[in-house]
A = this chain, B = another copy of it.
Amino acid sequence: MHPTVTDAPALAQLAALLADTSRARICLALLDGRAWTAGELARAAGVAPSTTSDHLSRLVEGGLLAEERQGRHRYLRLADPDVAQLIEDLAGRAAPVAQPARSLRAARATTALAYARTCYDHLAGRLGVLLHDTLLDRALLDRAGGLTLTPAGLDWCADLGLPVAPLRASRRPLLRDCLDWTERRPHLSGALGAALCARLLDLGWLARGTGRAVRLTPAGVPALAAALGLPPADLAPPATTDAGGGRA
């Protein structure tokens, strides 16, 4: 039976885990999909290591975080993609609108992130939106009545070396919209969104930058352009730093 009032204590207990600014900061930091050490999270949260230790224990016990101990380090990550989705949903509803005006240096710093970054485990930013749009344009995806993979899209995934069948086995939706906060347009989330991001990193077309930033590699520019049927110029990053053309 769907949740009833009897579930209230459990619901409140779970919500209480996120109802503290420090713990919320920790969870939001972990949205980048990586595993952080306890000390890093303490700095990110802005509270003493001792306080953080307590927070982390609770979050792990509450099932939101998973921990892995290695030597004198304690690595923490979000327990699973569902948790990431949950936090995104909550934050999305909670977030006011962010700051309207930014300093110049801050704007420069965010330029790289605006171009391409990970959103927990999938691709976001201009590149993420471009991918989403192109796949729709080429009828590899279809959104007449829900976002789906077309037969052609299934072939396209296969060509990339991305088996789709196992993704269907998971309880996670295959495809899902995720609103891009820089672009204000949707990009791809869900099991396939995550698998696609992982595959592009695996192929070496994408590489992780600092933080959650991601960049197209020199090899990735022509390869991805070819896969999408776009001129390589359309994939150009924002800055002129790495304007080098197609070198496979």
Cβ contact within 8 Å between B1 and A12: no
**CB of A150 within 8 A of chain B?**
yes
Taking CB atoms, residues of chain B closer than 8 Å to A51 are none
Q: How far is the CA of A65 from the CA of B12 in the complex (A)?
A: 17
Residue of B nearest to A114 (CB): B1
Interface status of A2 (Cβ within 8 A of chain B)? yes
Q: Is the CB of B149 within 8 A of A174?
A: no
- A198 contacts chain B at the CB level, 8 A cutoff: no
Whether the Cβ atoms of A25 and B8 lie closer than 8 Å is: yes
Query: Could you say which of A91-99, A221-229, A237-245 contacts chain B?
Result: A91-99
Residues B16 and A4 in contact, CB atoms below 8 Å apart: no
Q: Does A207 contact B (CB under 8 A)?
A: no
Structural contact, B14 and A16, CB atoms closer than 8 A? no
Q: Which of B11, B90, B114, B181 makes the CB contact (< 8 A) with A91?
A: B11
- 5 inter-chain pairs at a CB distance below 8 angstroms, sorted by A residue, are A7-B24, A9-B24, A11-B90, A11-B94, A145-B174
Given contacts A8-B21, A14-B93, A145-B153, 18 further A-B pairs with CB under 8 A are A1-B114, A2-B88, A3-B28, A3-B91, A5-B25, A7-B24, A7-B28, A7-B98, A8-B28, A10-B96, A11-B24, A15-B16, A83-B93, A86-B89, A86-B93, A144-B149, A146-B146, A148-B148
